[in-house]
Structure 1
Amino acid sequence: MTSTIEYTHLAGDGEPVVLVHGIGHRREAWGEVPQLLNARGHDVYVVDLPGHGASPVPAKPYGYSMGSHAEQFERLFGELGIERPHVVGNSLGGAMVLEMAHRGIVRSATALSPAGFFPVLHLPNVAANLLFMKGGSHLPEALHRKLNGFEWFRKLAFRSLYTHPEKVSVEDAVGDTLNLRRAKGFWPHFFGATFLRTTKHVIVPTTIGWGDTDRLLLPSEAKVARERLPEATHVSLPDCGHCPQIDHPELVVDLVVATMERAADATAV
């Protein structure tokens, strides 16, 4: 069985990096980060998760669990001939790259506001924000295009994702919204995330970065991540929300590169 994960490839002579978005998003959610990494010479792959963007739902025997996604990505890596790439994940994608780091199928992992560390008391906040965006995505497309033309509306609609939603273009805002409407993988992950608890220790150089103004997975959850995964490097990302790759892409690239350099140092030793 071949992988059905769709991706964009920015060829480079450096080490391969794979970018993994979060629930309801798509590969375009990485904004300028792929181009910035590629400009530094890296070979960049930006994926659509199964059931998101252009990727179909996972075919049996695969499913939506973290373990199954790790297996699907390992198969994709093999098909692409990129043994143990560096991986970067945001939100649900962050939990996925931590699973890969636990299995040792990657060289390094950078997780941005990863899922799996929220206490039960935070669940209503997560659910309310995701359902607000999911429900709003079903408004007519023409209305989305009109409303997203107003900066105040983008600030309201995307306040749980970005500290600077004004950095999201109208086209990207509409495209993200329509993708959220159509993403068949949203509901399986939405219900599965209720029980998701990231507890497995990582065995490769790993950085967990948390936006200090994250309104979806609250910054206090970073303390839980530090307690559960003390072997990882933990960083607070200033002036960043849940998707720091949009708020401050250069900061994210610096974080990813620093993690990759730690992996290179570990290999050299």
Structure 2
Amino acid sequence: MTATVSFPIESPLGPRTATVAYERKGSGTPLLLLHGIGHHLQAWHPVTDILAAEHDVIAVDLPGFGASEPLPQGVPYDLGTFVPALGALCAALGVERPHVVGNSLGGLLALEMGRSGLVRSVTALSPAGFWTEAERKYAFATLRAMRVGALTLPPSTLERLSRSAAGRAALTGTIYAHPARRSPEAVVAETVALREATGFEETLAAGRFVRFTSNVPGLPVTIAWGSRDRLLLPRQGVRAKRTVPDARLVRLRGCGHVPMNDDPALVCRVVLDTVRATTGHSA
């Protein structure tokens, strides 16, 4: 069941209020799940039940995405807004320093939360921010093309395409290695989420200048990359390991950019191994 929560955030314009949608299930130490640009919290559905068997799992629609409201007018969609806002969200939900798992944009946010001391561990799945300029331009052009497709595709055509394996591959093959495994309903929902993402353009624009160049010391960090990632190419994982030398770098064999649907068991194992590694850490 999706719920909403409102909480204060700081902005260049002074205090404002953000309202986000989230799903919460399970019990135990808290585990925060952050999706990528243009996606929504339902991207985590293939793994939430498994993770909730051991943890208090909170999957969030980022502001301006999914069912969450856009940021207040004039508040920038950048790391300086998102990261403190996620800290404020955790406080509003009564959560102190959760473990965090993020994919793509969510992976970058997870690493920034780790660098800021807001979390206990970080699992970043194909995180943004480790690209060369050429790789960034390629990824952004691909994302824009996906957005244009979502905006212009008639609903009847979307429904028809979603009902065949070939149609699901055409719609989501850029982000999944095995798009046929995604249900027709999920493909329709995520295409609609991309079409209706009010924060897409501003978030993408802010990302033009983003590079993650800092270490994340003092807590377990795993950076995992799908071997068949067609959006953020797997070689960026090697670059990420150089930037965060104490991180564990994992290859997600046979997975695409959004690996939770391609191999839920593998993704859960990587996440849970990272969480368990907090034993003995100062964090």
TM-score of the two chains, using structure 1 as the length reference: 0.95
CA distance in 2, matches of 1:123, 1:98: 18
Q: Does 1:120 align with 2:133?
A: yes
Q: Does 1:187 align with 2:201?
A: yes
CA distance in 2, matches of 1:148, 1:60: 35
Are residue 220 (structure 1) and residue 235 (structure 2) matched?
A: yes
Residue 264, structure 1, aligned to residue 271, structure 2: no
1:73 aligns with 2:55: no
Q: Choose which of 85, 105, 127 in structure 1 pairs with 2:98.
A: 85
Q: CA deviation at 1:59?
A: 2.7
The amino acid across from 1:81 in the alignment is G
Give the aligned residue type for 1:248.
Answer: D
Q: Which residue does the alignment assign to 2:112?
A: 99
Using the alignment, how far apart are the partners of 1:53 and 1:123 within structure 2? 24
Structure 1 stretches of 5 or more lacking a match?
A: none
Which range moved further: 51-60 or 91-100?
Answer: 51-60
Aligned-partner Cα distance in 2 for 1:112–1:197 = 16
Q: Which residue pairs with 1:239 in the alignment? A: 254
Alignment of 1:29-44 (within 5 A): 29-39=43-53, 41-44=54-57
| Percent identity of equivalent pairs | 41
Question: Alpha-carbon deviation of 1:31?
Answer: 2.7
Matches within 5 A, 1:166-181: 166-181=180-195
Whichever residue aligns with residue 66 of structure 1, its letter is L
CA displacement at 1:99 relative to structure 2: 0.2
Structure number having the greater strand percentage: 2
2:50 paired with 1:4: no
Answer 1 or 2: higher relative contact order, Cα 8 Å, separation at least 6: 1
Alignment pair present for 1:57 and 2:70: yes
Describe the superposition over 1:124-166 as per-residue Cα deviations: whole angstroms up to 9, x where unpaired: 3212321221111121111100111111121122121010101
| Alignment partners' CA distance in 1, 2:264 and 2:45 | 8
Please, which of 36, 47, 50 is the counterpart of residue 60 of structure 2?
Answer: 47
Letter in 1 for 2:182: V
Deviates more, 1:131-140 or 1:88-97: 131-140
| Contact 1:20-1:47 within 8 A present in 2 as well | yes
CA distance in structure 2 between the partners assigned to 1:49 and 1:55 by the alignment? 6
The 1-side partners of 2:280 and 2:270 are apart by 15
Count of residues paired in the alignment: 266
Gapped runs of 5+ residues in structure 2?
Answer: 1-7, 9-16
Using the alignment, how far apart are the partners of 2:107 and 2:117 within structure 1?
Answer: 15
Give the aligned partner of residue 14 of structure 2: none
**For structure 1, which segment, 126-135 or 91-100, has the greater mean C-alpha deviation from structure 2 after superposition?**
126-135
- 1:207 is paired with a residue of what secondary structure? strand
Give the superposition deviation at 1:241: 0.6
Cα separation, 2, equivalents of 1:60 and 1:121: 32
**C-alpha separation in 1, matches of 2:279 and 2:260:** 23
Equivalents in 1 of 2:220, 2:149: separation in Å?
39
